[in-house]
Structure 1
Amino acid sequence: MDKIIIQISSGRGPAECCRVVAKVQELVLKEARRAGINITVIDNKPADIKGTLLSATLTAEGNNLESFARQWQGTIRWIATSPYRKMHKRRNWFAGISIFDVQQQMQWNDRDVRFETCRASGPGGQHVNKVETAVRGIHQPSGIQVLAMDGRSQIMNKKLCLQRLKAKVLAWQTEQLVAQQQHQWQEHNVLERGNAVRTIKEDLL
């Protein structure tokens, strides 16, 4: 795996489960950084109580992602007394973690790109170039466009344009995947509470 998306959800559980989501996110961030994995929080959906989250979405890039994902993917069982309901007898709270490989989900084909050439204006008061060296790349399925004009030749600008356009389209596709996954979590009423992939016994404060 080169890049993965990690989603942590309370599965519409009570406030304690939303607190578990926030605590699990802290642990995931800490362990990923300790393992040399570049991890970023993309989105947090806050719950009603401060310090609680309905869901958290992160991206991770680096080596040994498959091993890291295996440690977290599934149901997390958190054993603690409720910090919100002091007399409540329940001590088992759950959060779910879903992980998928971004590269397997992405779709890119160079043939989907249409190129247009145009004249590039130079910096300062220079005259407009007589040769059409600037290149605009259009990703036809999404309509995303990129203009490259900093290269010295049309060939160089075409190469730069393709690189930048691919990065921009993949970023857009990642956003689409995240939105789709978040929608699935919003529809997820009950977490699988069978064999937890990890059990944590720690205060939820």
Structure 2
Amino acid sequence: MEEKIFLITAGSGPLECCRAVYKVRELLIAQARKLDLQVEILDEIPAEKTGALQSCTLRFKGFVPEVFMNEWQGTVQWIAASPYRPAHKRKNWFVGVEILENGAPVSWNESEVTFETFRASGPGGQNVNKVESAVRVTHQHTGIQIRVADTRSQLENKSIALKRLAQKLEALQNEQASQLRHDTRNKHLSLERGNPVKVIRGPL
């Protein structure tokens, strides 16, 4: 199943931009559901008033049409009077919508692992034993391989290899999560005013 992660951010904009983030989130979720996409809210950073967000991160699962992504990715301009400062002359509020790079999800299921056995060799190429006790496991989804020849027991080596594979996969997931947080911070700071990909007119 395909998945895309959308970040909606007010950048360093005022409270009205945070309100626009909240409203854009509602529109995105409603449109995604019409496209039969699964919607998951990954993260929200609230603003100082209810119904306003500094940023929001959404995950959409399913077939995400290119036209849907192109419609929203970039700067969104919301034209409306301020709901917080009625006398304020400004009526243009900007938010950013970015699609974050999401590493391929790391699945951990033993059915996705292939096993190979071979003879373990000692110093100088001497055989440690005459049976294929050494084990190599390969995680098909990521290509990660673990080779273990710690003991003379194939069963024990297999168990050790699976534990080490699990550690490798956990490290990979942590790395992907760290990269996603880094991308989110960068996108949040780099909101471009002007040249909007979408203009919305309506009350905030």
TM-score normalised according to structure 2 size: 0.68
Q: For 1:115 and 1:203, locate their aligned partners in 2 and report how far apart those are by CA, in whole Å.
A: 61
Q: Which residue of 1 aligns with 2:162?
A: 136
RMSD of Structure 2 on Structure 1 (CA): 3.1
Q: For 1:37 and 1:16, locate their aligned partners in 2 and report how far apart those are by CA, in whole Å.
A: 29
The aligned amino acid for 2:187 is W
Deviation at 1:41, TM superposition (A): 0.8
Tell me if 1:193 matches 2:194.
Answer: yes
Q: For 1:10 and 1:198, locate their aligned partners in 2 and report how far apart those are by CA, in whole Å.
A: 15
Q: Which residue of 1 aligns with 2:95?
A: 95
Q: Which residue of 2 aligns with 1:38?
A: 38
The aligned amino acid for 1:175 is A
Moved more, 170-179 or 51-60: 170-179
Q: For 2:163 and 2:145, locate their aligned partners in 1 and report how far apart those are by CA, in whole Å.
A: 6
The aligned amino acid for 1:199 is V
1:114-138 Cα offsets, whole Å, 9 max, x none, are 2669xxxxxxxxxxxxx65756243
1:73-123 Cα offsets, whole Å, 9 max, x none, are 0111111110110100111111011113425799x742x342669xxxxxx
Q: 1:174 to 1:69 in 2, by over 3 A?
A: farther
Q: Which residue of 2 aligns with 1:145?
A: 167
- Whether contact under 8 Å (1:78, 1:92) holds in the other structure is yes
- Whether contact under 8 Å (1:39, 1:60) holds in the other structure is yes
1:39-80 Cα offsets, whole Å, 9 max, x none, are 211000112222211111111121133222111101111111
Q: For 1:72 and 1:10, locate their aligned partners in 2 and report how far apart those are by CA, in whole Å.
A: 14
Gapped runs of 5+ residues in structure 1?
A: 118-130, 147-164
Deviation at 1:172, TM superposition (A): 3.7
Q: Figure out how many residues of one structure are paired with residues of the other and give that number.
A: 165
TM-score normalised according to structure 1 size: 0.68
Q: For 1:69 and 1:22, locate their aligned partners in 2 and report how far apart those are by CA, in whole Å.
A: 18
- Whether contact under 8 Å (1:115, 1:136) holds in the other structure is no
Q: For 1:145 and 1:94, locate their aligned partners in 2 and report how far apart those are by CA, in whole Å.
A: 43
The secondary structure found in structure 2 opposite 1:136 is helix
- Whether contact under 8 Å (1:2, 1:65) holds in the other structure is no
Q: 1:31 to 1:76 in 2, by over 3 A?
A: same
- Whether contact under 8 Å (1:75, 1:96) holds in the other structure is yes
Q: Which residue of 2 aligns with 1:54?
A: 54
Deviation at 1:171, TM superposition (A): 4.8
Q: Which residue of 1 aligns with 2:17?
A: 17
Q: 1:75 to 1:186 in 2, by over 3 A?
A: closer
- Whether contact under 8 Å (1:115, 1:138) holds in the other structure is no
